[in-house]
Structure 1
């Protein structure tokens, strides 16, 4: 029993475990604030993510949208249908390959993002003001490094 308690205390102090817990809590806190801001503008985070992707990156094959905004492939059709019904995006067939369908943001979608994105950006700046500009750059570098390593680790373990 005493051995188990010592082992638990040792695990509690492990920086890997602590990093995971702190990273998870920070992500949830920031993500919840951003989601609240998006909802206040009449969209959900998935709809906003698709529109933002199309707004900033241009037309996208439907099959690639899920990978870029971390959306399950089964959900893409539902989201695209909903945004299309609202007139915020449209589907277009590829002229080169009829099997490929592109999602495109409409003029209405562009107008909506032009109206809400500047305030959304300011809200993200306010949410992340707990770090200096230098700390933000350090965090970006470190989190990219951590994510790249985790991706490589996963690939190694899949083979």
Structure 2
């Protein structure tokens, strides 16, 4: 086996798969007037609760300045609000407003179903192995940064 050639083919395959997945997700969330980054913030707050804005940046992998911009847009739309940390004024938390929670209660279940359908060609075992393989690569990435 030519490992370099196989690694390149795997890389191209991951890129193509990512484009396919991302285009489907973008199409889905755009129906609600959201972009993929806004949805990622809403999904994080919906599933994990209130988050320090700096933590959001790390969780959804966007630049710090972009995090503030995205949160500002979600605040303007009425889906998110901020509150300062009572112990450390340098820290602000983002949280879902009632309007944001209502939106996510409506749109998250069908979105989760779409994600499940995008992976329906894989058996449960293949999906678990795929996740484990991707994690190996992303853990190595995190250690080198």
Matched positions, count? 144
- What residue number does 1:47 align with? 38
TM-score by length of 2: 0.92
- What residue number does 1:38 align with? 29
For 1:136 and 1:41, how far apart are their aligned partners in 2? 29
- What residue number does 1:73 align with? 64
TM-score by length of 1: 0.84
- What residue number does 1:149 align with? 140
Provide closer, same or farther for how the CA distance between residues 77 and 151 of structure 1 changes in structure 2, counting only shifts above 3 A. closer
- The runs of 5 or more residues in structure 1 that have no matched partner are 1-9
Instruction: State the Cα distance separating 1:22 from its structure 2 match.
Output: 0.8
1:87 corresponds to 2:96: no
Instruction: State the Cα distance separating 1:67 from its structure 2 match.
Output: 1.0
Q: Which runs of 4+ in 1 moved over 2 A?
A: 149-152
- What residue number does 2:112 align with? 121
Query: Which among 95, 111, 116 is matched to residue 104 of structure 1?
Result: 95
- What residue number does 1:5 align with? none
Aligned-CA RMSD value = 1.6
Instruction: State the Cα distance separating 1:151 from its structure 2 match.
Output: 3.0
- What residue number does 2:5 align with? 14
Q: Greater CA deviation, 25-34 or 143-152?
A: 143-152
For 1:14 and 1:130, how far apart are their aligned partners in 2? 25
State which structure, 1 or 2, has the greater radius of gyration over its C-alpha atoms: 1
For 2:129 and 2:58, how far apart are their aligned partners in 1? 26
- Secondary structure of the 1:98 match is coil
How big is each residue's C-alpha offset from its partner over 1:104-148, in whole Å with a ceiling of 9 and x where there is no partner? 111111100000011111111111112111110110111111222
